[in-house]
Structure 1
């Protein structure tokens, strides 16, 4: 019989931390904490395999599941001395999700399950607090109706608000037991009027309904969006954890809280978190009550007059600190902890590796390596390469004038400027229209995930440092200010007000997630300096990686940026980007539209000194580092005059009639220019062009070497080669230009001539091409287009649908398609090196900055990757991680 259910608690467990694929992250860690002898409420985990069965079998369970759940409930009963559904020995449970990858707030939870009209009386008698019992029951009805029965929670909030207004209450804690009984009666009436049946009273029916709802939440739009954004496969599924309830709302000696073993924003080694006295878990993150600090030091730093946990419950606090230290040491990582204190006794509800900002991740990794908890290699592998983008986020210029109108909590660092929007749908729509927006909400919920992703930053009026907005924003690397309570948001009017000032939808504001300030208008920003822990991790990464990292750059500014980020050369300099200057494009148009070789040479003579100056500056900036220059590649139509004014201007410069020029331009028109007259086809049709560019490159290399004293070895790349004879033809032009330039100056320099492999035919015939080509650079942008037969400029209209429907897992223009394009790259690499053992291999498409694609490049044995300058740090780190994993696999 397949085992679908695994028990834990009472100092033992049937699973362990390594079982996260089967038990999910939460279930595996509950089992691990139980095995460590920590105080974990007993329970059981229904495996991720049941989730898979549930969705592939019409939302039905395996036939053995009900029996196994029943036996597990008895085991929980034996551990607690209680029995599910028995008023005399009442056992209540929570039902929570737990995927193998953390998805905070994305899936559903049900607490206090097992309460009904009979058992609530038993809870009141046992606790000695009828108010607590009825409050718990109304919470259960509201949560169960929302999660399982599908009723909007606002229906119940309306009832609660009416009752508050009727009695003049400010907060829920003012309700009496009689008040809660009236609320419960109205809740049950609302369920019956909305659904046509009573609220379920049978505990077993409640449990099965909750389990199904948690499994179903794996496919809710918010969960699907979160998985898409974080590349979590749908096939993983979620586990379900059923656990004996412990109550943080049983009086002033009870509490619940969330904590991190280190600061998730800065990485500082100190306990960081919040708690509430006499509260359940959802109260801490909901922002309805202001959370309190865990430690006295944090309370004093925050200037709070609310007592800390350390002060009011010293014994429980001391136990918690000891457990937190033990868990961080055991997992060798910063932990995100959830806990409940029930009448003075501490219970641990969850531990997991905590989400953190990139700044914090760097500090934690470096500190833990220096503390001896992890190795340097493990420290490097702890950093998500893509997250380094967070470090490129601007911060507010320290000299900028700040027109501050509100403050909140500095929930996620960095600063952002944008137009105010009040809904996630609007944020997504405005982003699609090219606008930068700040999402302003009273509080965010998991349904806001798409809007948070679209926004530059998030501002909420409720919530603490561990609220949904704060946790998700930190994970996304988005600046966030939470709990800005002085701001009043009016969704209907589309306004927000604070300090007597009103801001309307569309007005521009700036938020500072590092200080919690909210500012009027756009504020000048500065880029952060890359030093300290960032530099340390980069140094360790460089020691570990095998592949070199170059940059795609053709302007001096890009080249300098690339060097500052640690680029080891330029892997792609696109010469066509140098021709769109007003003076140059005129000469280019003359060359293209010329009728004779002599006319073309005359136009190109104007461009030669410009090209030489371009290349000389690049060689000087990259002194001593390789520089790969691609000969002119784009379709000619990009340079042609389009307006009547432009045609007249070019005609005058060439001394021809405008009509004659118009006819010549029309004759060059192409139906599909990206597959037309471009790449090496230009050099074959107009050899004068390749000759001019080659001379400019060699003359610049000689001049730069003399200026800098550093050797210059230019690498000249012939684009869009399909057959070996194309390459041979163009290489002969380059070699002739090299000989002429060196003879004229009496200098010998080394150089390489290679090609960009960007057509399937070139990949299939790489062995023939390699007989003359000295390097291959894989142009994966075009290679992906020509392999799939898809235009990357038009693919966005349907590739996202493909992803949503499971046709493809990833956009092949973002992450390299290993099963198709990757096969061609591997074949070309093997055949190229078989023909020329010392063949240099690299990649210069956009995939050169994608961590998953870089891992593939390591497996193929490429010598380098080349990416945009700002992705060089990402590539350096990803290359190191790929090398570490390759060594482990080998």
Structure 2
């Protein structure tokens, strides 16, 4: 008779089955059961999933040199399952197993956590497949088959979902394992590991229950390490563990291996919706609809003595990209020991051991035959997958087994080097190299590192787990890290070791520091994926969560004090340390050169100062797409004259104030034109509401009044008159130029005089693009343009130099986009100001949206923040209309965008699709935009070829 499935039980907030507490007179609940079939599969998966639903095949087997799946089936089998199948097909040593498809996960959630029809029968067939290859039978008390149950989503989500090892052990099979291995200590150590892991993952009993028991037992026996415990010790610990399980859940620990299996399968599917997995998917834009597969695989043991081991290896260094085997292993250990950081891992290669100074033998020395096999396999896999691989392996009594391979996560620096070197090795093409780099990841390369001249007050040294450097306030909890980040503070998350539950705090922190863990620990892997600096394994540090202190020898740092970490050297430094800008050359320059040859979309920078312009040029900008002239007004030496201009009652007073500003503006523009060396520069006339420049204190008003020679009270009254209820939609943009034409005339004169002077200095033609903001009608543009043209004529006459310039407009109102055909009759170029266009289209102020936008995105009302990535359906539709209608009137109309969307890869792809000429973004995002533009072109090319 089919038992009630674990999946139908009440579920806790973590997505695991809730603890079942025995009540007086009630029948104890079973820990797990077999599946109740769903009446129908209501899910609507796509592509391979859809075919799987139609075929009714829910389970795919692998092992024995062949598999039903292959690497290209990640959508259905998940990344782990697809790659296990591929390795099996390649004839590599893979423990046999089977994969329950992602289509089951989709059906599971679509049908109130019930499984599809025939799943149980197919799982039984999968177990028979493993039994045939291994010669062991699942649940057999004399010759038991033990299995692992692991998740496997389409996209790698390290540590986010649940795993159970050693499944199938019970009070009978543990004795069989002891007899077959000849090692009772190993058998009962494996059993206690299984009880602890299964109880936490499936029964939702916290780890500390078991850790406390183990520590108490070791204390009584006067043991220091787990390896000190004898077989009798582990037998006693197992009894205590089982007693704690019954005490916590009201029922004994499940002894039926089939109940264990279905409990673990349900827990893995349940973990797809746990809090940490949901957070990870949100941070990495992984759709919930993808689901996870479940991989059931014959166990191989790395904890069977000194001829056994387990480890993680990369075919290239994931931090630097260097081409050599990189990783760690532990002798006489299971996989969780490596990533947990409980024991200090050993180096795989002898060269790495010498570099680290470790006194423990490398795998190359301790297990030469297994090392030789690993080296052969790593070469096979990298050549086959044409990418750097992240591999997990186990050595069982001298024999190497491959448990997983996947494209390894890497830092941006490593990604660039690997892509370029793979292209140079002819394993991939240059276009493939360009397509492989995540544009947003370049952000890791474009930020400061510690100044080599800076004094370093090093208080500890750990492992350089993820490169880069960061300073911030010390915090000891992920919740506090997230809270302080929301307040605009920069923090360093300090933990003994991180766990998947820390994902939100790691994302919020500037960097991560742990006292335990190796280069492949949870903190290291996740930090590298996020592009966060990380120092792990700083064992000389002592963290006291209760006292909220971090101690290094005699140095004690408290919560809130500043600390700096250098993820490139592993150093931990007291206080804030000066940083320097990165040098971009080598592989970065090579790959960006390849990208520039592919892309058709231009990339400019939003730059208001000479410093911005220099950074933009260094990062490969092809001009300035937005120079906001008002940003030049806030300088302390200028603000006084600007206030005089705004508060003037008469045109003469305004002109007098503007005369003070003119030489300052002209000087700014001369320097910008010189830096850009003939590249286009788009200068926007004064745009923001005037109240932003006004004095607010009586002292400031009195100072301006004295300079103007007017009564302070009268000036204060004038300032109140200029106050607005909704200044974003008030007296700003072209409205200022229409009401006070002398302002636009001054700015136009400054631009044109600077163009003449810069042209003479550089010998290169300067073609300024004068942009009129906030146009809603052609009539507005015509009025302002007439003033600009008149000023150009005056400057030409005075200087005797011919001016080449363009006058265009910023499309930031829905009406302007809709009337683009009319406006294009006068405008020589369009630049979509997508920041304001998003505000005016949605009716949302981006300054005030934080209070509700998060709710909107969490509930799926909006797919994401429209101020981060352009709303293609709404705002994007207005951009399309503006481009199409504008070019109907002016065929060669130059069109770009200058909102911060210009540095968002998805928005750049949209701009390419719509046919824009260029995007403009902040200087530090220029490389991101260049790469995204190249990938958009490659994507369009691939779509055309298909």
TM-score clears 0.5:
yes
Q: Report the more deviating stretch, 830-839 or 387-396.
A: 387-396
1:384 aligns with 2:468: no
Distance between the aligned counterparts of 2:293 and 2:853, measured in 1? 30
Displacement after TM superposition at 1:595 (Å): 2.6
Displacement after TM superposition at 1:63 (Å): 2.5
Tell me, what secondary structure is at the counterpart of 1:63?
Answer: coil
List aligned pairs for 1:590-605, cutoff 5 A.
590-605=644-659
Distance between the aligned counterparts of 1:153 and 1:638, measured in 2? 56
Distance between the aligned counterparts of 1:847 and 1:459, measured in 2? 33
**What residue number does 1:89 align with?**
143
Distance between the aligned counterparts of 1:694 and 1:889, measured in 2? 45
1:246 aligns with 2:300: yes
Give the counterpart of 2:675 among 617, 621, 638.
Answer: 621
Tell me, what secondary structure is at the counterpart of 1:838?
Answer: coil
List aligned pairs for 1:556-567, cutoff 5 A.
556-567=610-621
Q: Report the more deviating stretch, 322-331 or 249-258.
A: 249-258
**What residue number does 1:160 align with?**
214
Displacement after TM superposition at 1:523 (Å): 2.3
1:276 aligns with 2:326: no
**What residue number does 2:477 align with?**
423
**What residue number does 1:115 align with?**
169
1:783 aligns with 2:837: yes
Give the counterpart of 1:393 among 447, 456, 473.
Answer: 447
Deviations 1:217-266 (A, max 9, x none): 11222112211221212222211111111111112111111000011111
1:578 aligns with 2:632: yes
**What residue number does 2:498 align with?**
444
**What residue number does 1:177 align with?**
231
Deviations 1:2-42 (A, max 9, x none): 22221111111111111111111111111111111111111
Give the counterpart of 2:937 among 867, 883, 889.
Answer: 883
**What residue number does 1:130 align with?**
184
**Uncovered stretches (5+) of structure 2, i.e. residues with no partner:** 1-54
Give the counterpart of 2:775 among 700, 714, 721.
Answer: 721
Distance 1:738 1:225, change over 3 A: same
Distance between the aligned counterparts of 1:409 and 1:153, measured in 2? 27
1:344 aligns with 2:398: yes
Q: Report the more deviating stretch, 648-657 or 708-717.
A: 648-657
Displacement after TM superposition at 1:808 (Å): 2.3
1:497 aligns with 2:551: yes
**What residue number does 1:403 align with?**
457
Distance 1:323 1:487, change over 3 A: same
Give the counterpart of 1:744 among 782, 795, 798.
Answer: 798
**What residue number does 1:825 align with?**
879
Displacement after TM superposition at 1:678 (Å): 0.8
**What residue number does 1:661 align with?**
715
Distance between the aligned counterparts of 2:815 and 2:459, measured in 1? 62
Give the counterpart of 1:872 among 926, 932, 935.
Answer: 926
Q: Report the more deviating stretch, 600-609 or 692-701.
A: 600-609
1:234 aligns with 2:288: yes
Tell me, what secondary structure is at the counterpart of 1:87?
Answer: coil
Q: Report the more deviating stretch, 24-33 or 496-505.
A: 496-505
Displacement after TM superposition at 1:716 (Å): 0.7
Displacement after TM superposition at 1:504 (Å): 2.0
Distance between the aligned counterparts of 1:198 and 1:626, measured in 2? 76
Tell me, what secondary structure is at the counterpart of 1:493?
Answer: coil
Distance 1:513 1:583, change over 3 A: closer
Q: What do you get for the CA RMSD once the two structures are aligned?
A: 1.4
Distance between the aligned counterparts of 1:216 and 1:802, measured in 2? 25
Tell me, what secondary structure is at the counterpart of 1:208?
Answer: helix
Distance between the aligned counterparts of 1:795 and 1:80, measured in 2? 60
**What residue number does 1:31 align with?**
85
Q: Report the more deviating stretch, 55-64 or 335-344.
A: 55-64
Tell me, what secondary structure is at the counterpart of 2:272?
Answer: helix
**What residue number does 1:837 align with?**
891
Distance between the aligned counterparts of 1:851 and 1:754, measured in 2? 26
Deviations 1:777-822 (A, max 9, x none): 1111011111111111111222122222222222111111111111
Displacement after TM superposition at 1:525 (Å): 2.3
List aligned pairs for 1:628-667, cutoff 5 A.
628-667=682-721
List aligned pairs for 1:413-492, cutoff 5 A.
413-492=467-546
Deviations 1:310-332 (A, max 9, x none): 12222211111111100000011
List aligned pairs for 1:22-101, cutoff 5 A.
22-101=76-155
Distance between the aligned counterparts of 1:845 and 1:161, measured in 2? 58
**What residue number does 2:27 align with?**
none
Distance between the aligned counterparts of 2:332 and 2:635, measured in 1? 69
Displacement after TM superposition at 1:857 (Å): 0.9
1:200 aligns with 2:278: no
Distance between the aligned counterparts of 2:372 and 2:275, measured in 1? 41
Q: Report the more deviating stretch, 287-296 or 656-665.
A: 656-665
Tell me, what secondary structure is at the counterpart of 1:711?
Answer: coil
**What residue number does 1:518 align with?**
572
Q: Report the more deviating stretch, 827-836 or 67-76.
A: 67-76
**What residue number does 1:285 align with?**
339
**Uncovered stretches (5+) of structure 1, i.e. residues with no partner:** none
Displacement after TM superposition at 1:489 (Å): 1.5
Give the counterpart of 2:275 among 210, 221, 241.
Answer: 221
Tell me, what secondary structure is at the counterpart of 2:390?
Answer: strand
Displacement after TM superposition at 1:432 (Å): 2.5
**What residue number does 1:369 align with?**
423
Displacement after TM superposition at 1:120 (Å): 1.3
Displacement after TM superposition at 1:500 (Å): 3.2
Displacement after TM superposition at 1:590 (Å): 2.5
**What residue number does 2:594 align with?**
540
Distance 1:664 1:502, change over 3 A: closer
**What residue number does 1:814 align with?**
868
Displacement after TM superposition at 1:281 (Å): 0.3
Give the counterpart of 1:313 among 361, 367, 372.
Answer: 367
Q: Report the more deviating stretch, 520-529 or 632-641.
A: 520-529
Tell me, what secondary structure is at the counterpart of 1:213?
Answer: helix
Displacement after TM superposition at 1:582 (Å): 3.2
Deviations 1:836-871 (A, max 9, x none): 111001110000011111111111111111111111
Distance between the aligned counterparts of 1:801 and 1:39, measured in 2? 48
Displacement after TM superposition at 1:142 (Å): 0.4
Distance between the aligned counterparts of 1:17 and 1:115, measured in 2? 32
Deviations 1:158-212 (A, max 9, x none): 0010011011111111212211111111111111111111111111111111111
Distance between the aligned counterparts of 1:649 and 1:496, measured in 2? 50
Tell me, what secondary structure is at the counterpart of 2:142?
Answer: helix
Displacement after TM superposition at 1:304 (Å): 1.6
**What residue number does 2:784 align with?**
730
Distance between the aligned counterparts of 2:127 and 2:812, measured in 1? 60
Give the counterpart of 1:102 among 150, 156, 159.
Answer: 156
Distance between the aligned counterparts of 1:652 and 1:521, measured in 2? 45
Give the counterpart of 2:851 among 790, 797, 805.
Answer: 797
Tell me, what secondary structure is at the counterpart of 1:536?
Answer: helix
Distance between the aligned counterparts of 1:189 and 1:88, measured in 2? 25
Distance 1:526 1:586, change over 3 A: closer
Distance between the aligned counterparts of 2:235 and 2:221, measured in 1? 14
Tell me, what secondary structure is at the counterpart of 2:113?
Answer: coil
Distance between the aligned counterparts of 1:14 and 1:144, measured in 2? 29
Distance between the aligned counterparts of 1:181 and 1:589, measured in 2? 83
Deviations 1:662-705 (A, max 9, x none): 22222222111001111111111111211111111111111111
Displacement after TM superposition at 1:402 (Å): 2.3
Q: Report the more deviating stretch, 364-373 or 433-442.
A: 433-442
Distance between the aligned counterparts of 2:271 and 2:661, measured in 1? 62
